[in-house]
Copies of this chain bind each other. A is one copy, B any other.
Amino acid sequence: MRVGLDVGGTKTDAVAVDDSGTVVARVRLATGQGPQAVIATVLEAVRALRESLDAGAAPFTSIGIGIPGQVMPGTTRVTHAVNLGIDDLDLAAAISPVLSLPVYVENDVKAAALGAYALHGAASQSLSSMAYLNLGTGIAAGIVEDGVLARGRHGSAGEVGHISVDPAGPLCRCGQHGCIEALAGGGAIAQRWGTGAALPVKDVFDASDAGDPLAQSLRAGLAAGAAAAVRVLVLTVDVDTVVLGGGVTNLGDALLSDIRAQLDASAAASPFLRSLCLSERVALLPLGSPAAALGAALLGEARTPEGVLAHG
């Protein structure tokens, strides 16, 4: 039995996955801040998962952790996890000795991509490649081809959020103008909306429906940025499907309709884009899906393509 954890800025989602790839237990708890508290959260999540299972359940064989920071390919060290108060931490070095289990670590979006592939691949037998596009505070994608996560060697695979698609667009926190993230990232939208609402993007959608011009412009930028990310992923990597997830996708069908309308408009203008049927190739990750935690659980076996394919 494998354990997978999605250690988020406020909550940690933990699952236990059996050999057939099925989630057999799931617990959620608050995430502590700072290296020691994050390690304590991981240990507590593993304990709670164990407790939620029957006494006769199989032992845990590995722990995978998805975490919002940079993880250099092939290492278990996370850096720049600013939302967790972690600057530099080797999670395996801290946790393996305590639990006596192999620990795998991956960026949370890349872990979610593996999980979304397993979830989506199970529903669609013919899926050979997929991008998971995370629309959260920031924007990034994870790319899975034939069951294997594209990691790249410098860690920038899937960083489509910082591709500029409009030189006259808003300034991005990265320093460029018109990045996809500056248009469609939840953080950038909240900042430009400026009301301090608890659910800023939901607030923007509501105000847009009520006719507010700024809200309508922000909402159009969100759809344009997300549609641009879909085009980049299909025209560069030729993924079969782009699965959308992340906090902003809590807006559900209203968001998906906006993005599809943008893709349909560009298809109407361009026979080439029309031939790619982009609008039909985007899908929403089901709300509440444990994609990142499931993907984290699969990390150990994802070192070999065959392992993941067995779960596809």
Contacts and interface: CB of A to CB of B under 8 A. Distances in A.
Given A150-B237, A153-B240, A231 B163 contact: yes
Nearest to A131: B236
A159 B235 contact: yes
Most chain B CB within a 10 A radius of its CB, from A128, A168, A232 = A232
A164 B228 contact: yes
B154 A238 contact: yes
A238 B175 contact: no
Query: Which DSSP category, helix, strand, loop or mixed, fits chain A's interface?
Result: loop
Given A165-B165, A167-B166, A168-B168, A273 B237 contact: no
Identical subunits present: 2
A181 to B, nearest CB: 10
Most chain B beta-carbon neighbours within 10 Å: one of A168, A240, A273: A273
A11 B129 CA distance: 36
A163 B174 CA distance: 21
A64 to B, nearest CB: 21
Interface in A255-309: 266, 269-273, 276
Interface in A184-240: 224, 228, 231-240
B228 A158 contact: no
Nearest to A278: B156
Interface centre among A160, A162, A164, A233 (most CB of B within 10 A): A164
A155 interface: yes
A152 interface: yes
A156 B235 contact: yes
Interface string A126-157: 00110000000000010100000011111111
A236 B235 CA distance: 10
A239 B150 CA distance: 11
A270 B238 contact: no
A272 B175 contact: yes
Given A233-B236, A236-B237, A237-B236, A153 B129 contact: yes
Contacts of A76: none
Q: Report the 3 A-B pairs with minimum CB-CB distance, sorted nearest first.
A: A152-B238, A175-B270, A157-B238
27 contacts: A129-B153, A151-B238, A152-B237, A156-B238, A157-B236, A157-B237, A158-B236, A158-B238, A159-B236, A160-B235, A162-B235, A163-B231, A163-B236, A164-B266, A165-B167, A166-B168, A167-B224, A174-B270, A174-B271, A174-B273, A175-B269, A175-B271, A176-B266, A176-B273, A232-B236, A236-B237, A237-B237
Interface of A: 128-129, 141, 143, 150-160, 162-168, 172, 174-176, 224, 228, 231-240, 266, 269-273, 276
Given A165-B167, A236-B236, 7 more contacts: A152-B238, A153-B238, A162-B270, A163-B232, A164-B228, A176-B266, A232-B236
